[in-house]
Amino acid sequence: MPDRHVLVLAAGQGTRMKSSRPKVLHRLAGSSLVEHVLRAATPLDARSTTLVVGHQANILEHALQPSGINTLRFVRQEPQLGTAHALLQAEPFFTGVTGALVVLSGDAPLIGARTLKRLVETHEASGAAATVLTAVLDRPSGYGRILRHGGQFTRIIEESDASPEQQQVREVNSGIYAFDLAPLFATLHEVPEAGPKNERYLPTVFSLYRRKQLPVETVAAADPNEIRGINSQSELAEVSSIVRQSKNEELMATGVTLEDPATTYIDRDVDVGPDTVIHPGVMLEGRTRIGARCELHAGVRVVNSTVGADVTIRNFCVITDSHISDGAQVGPFAHLRPESSVGKRGRVGNFVELKKATLGEGAKANHLSYVGDATIGPGVNIGAGTITCNYDGAAKHHTTLEADVFIGSGTQLVAPVTVGKGAYVAAGSCITDDVP
Ligand code: UD1
Ligand code: CA
């Protein structure tokens, strides 16, 4: 198999977003646009992955360094003078390199791994100088149009240059291509400046190929949504809803009940077990995993957390970087801050905040409590209004409640403090020393 290389164009400012953030770092279902693109390209097993950055290059490089792609390298395009100019900046990487270069757009996040594979395999099998991924859209406006003669691809015309007749063409350029590296860079140098900003457009390379009689193939995306590019906030919202809908469909197909998919926001990497019921307005974000037969009531938000099976989370809880074990019940109105954990059949009731707190099996904090920097043993009962006073103004201190402790309502536990196994603390106590 000939070598494959991947290059992602991500240097543009994204003027139409009207945002100070680099366009390709805007988020969609839990990941940035460019991360979606890089992920789709992973199965190509490319020998190298190059990202062309320019506008706010530092921010982008910083955000993507830890992406885990060990072949990832960056090249700067300054100033940004068009997509052909962007590609030319990577030329030094490719002197003497042969094989296929797959060019992707950092702002087209829905591209699927299977489509990319088909594009490259078709390209390699045909021996074409280049292969363009196209799609037929109901509303083609905003995209370059594919022009054909007798069915054969001839060239791409940008919308701004297209005649009214050419604008009727519904087959569009995805901005995703496979190029044979051999003739590519020499031809890119010949791409003339065009348009009001004197930019050099990558699609012009196909007109030059035609003149040189270099064969260009096309591959059509099976699902036209896959090639959707994001140029504005409104398109970002539209594409987000497409991603959300397909995630919801995927979960429902595996036996998850979504009472109202339209108001359910589940990130792409989230897992949910069968027979779990999700009420309206629930948000499951990041690397969250929810077990089987759970019930998540309206307005619950879970971020980067794991939830076991048979768990009930009542309305309006916020749960971040935490763990909830099988059979536990949480909420309503509970706040689990990072590094908290609720044991099997544990209970965390209304207006209870946990922070770096571990509750053992069957432990309960049912009402109006703050439990922070604490290890709570199995079977402990924390009465209403209990506070771990974990902060003395300078440092944080730990509270330990051993197994089967009973803490009466309105108790203050002044950390560092330990309450021994089976101890009983009466209501309204202020505990400043260890209790055996
Ligand atoms: C581009 C194509 C158009 C295609 C569409 C698909 C050109 C001229 N037009 O239009 O035919 O239908 O994509 O979505 O290529 N970029 C750079 N450096 C630059 C300019 C752009 O790296 O100097 C990057 C952008 O960050 C972006 C990508 O290239 O990720 C595409 O640029 P964009 O300005 O969005 O092109 P479109 O107008 O969408
Ligand atoms: Ca675009």
Predicted local confidence at residue 65, as pLDDT: 80
- The minimum-distance atom of ligand 1 relative to the CA of 172 is 12
Q: Which helix (H) or strand (E) holds 395?
A: none
Residue 130 forms beta bridges with which residues?
A: 179, 216
Relative orientation angle of helices 33-41 and 57-64, to the nearest 10 degrees: 50
**275 with 254: CB under 8 angstroms?**
no
What value, to the nearest 5°, has the Cα angle with vertex 168 and ends 163 and 169? Answer: 100
Structure tokens at 210: 């035609």
Tens of pLDDT, residue by residue over 393-432, are 999 999 999 999 999 999 999 999 999 999 999 999 999 9
- The minimum-distance atom of ligand 1 relative to the CA of 105 is 30
**167 with 145: CB under 8 angstroms?**
yes
Predicted local confidence at residue 71, as pLDDT: 77
Ligand nearest to the CA of 143: 1
Ligand nearest to the CA of 26: 1
Mutate to test the pocket of ligand 1, among 77, 89, 105, 171 (most ligand atoms within 8 A of CB): 105
C-alpha 229 to ligand 1 mean position (Å): 9
Tens of pLDDT, residue by residue over 91-111, are 999 999 999 999 999 999 999
C-alpha 68 to ligand 1 mean position (Å): 26
C-alpha 150 to ligand 1 mean position (Å): 28
Residue nearest to atom 34 of ligand 1 (CA): 12
Strands (E), 91-238: 100-105, 130-136, 145-149, 152-157, 171-180, 216-220
Predicted local confidence at residue 77, as pLDDT: 98
Predicted local confidence at residue 139, as pLDDT: 95
| 367 counts as catalytic | yes
- The minimum-distance atom of ligand 1 relative to the CA of 84 is 15
Catalytic residue among 149, 335, 367, 398: 367
For the chain, which ranges sit under pLDDT 50? none
3-state helix, strand, coil split of the chain in percent (to 5) is: 25, 35, 45
C-alpha 227 to ligand 2 mean position (Å): 10
Predicted local confidence at residue 302, as pLDDT: 98
User: Ligand 1: which residues within 6 Å by Cβ?
Assistant: 9-12, 52, 77, 80-83, 85-86, 105-108, 143-144, 156, 158, 172-175, 201-203, 229, 231
Structure tokens at 369: 């409590």
Angstrom CA distances, 233 to 16, 55, 237, 240, 264, stand at 8, 18, 6, 10, 20
DSSP 193: P
| Residue-level length of the chain | 436
Instruction: Tally Cβ neighbours within 10 Å of residue 13.
Output: 13
Residue nearest to atom 33 of ligand 1 (CA): 12
Mutate to test the pocket of ligand 1, among 9, 76, 177 (most ligand atoms within 8 A of CB): 9
Residue nearest to atom 2 of ligand 1 (CA): 175
C-alpha 265 to ligand 1 mean position (Å): 29
- The minimum-distance atom of ligand 1 relative to the CA of 10 is 26
- Taking alpha carbons only, the member of 389, 386, 435 closest to residue 411 is 386
- The minimum-distance atom of ligand 1 relative to the CA of 86 is 18
**28 with 97: CB under 8 angstroms?**
no
C-alpha 342 to ligand 1 mean position (Å): 48
Structure tokens at 359: 């509750």
- The minimum-distance atom of ligand 1 relative to the CA of 11 is 22
pTM equals 0.91
Q: Which residues surround ligand 2, an ion (CB under 5 A)?
A: 107, 229, 231
Ligand nearest to the CA of 158: 1
C-alpha 23 to ligand 2 mean position (Å): 10
Predicted local confidence at residue 428, as pLDDT: 98
Ligand nearest to the CA of 104: 1
Tens of pLDDT, residue by residue over 193-241, are 998 899 999 999 999 999 999 999 999 999 999 999 999 999 999 999 9
Predicted local confidence at residue 246, as pLDDT: 94
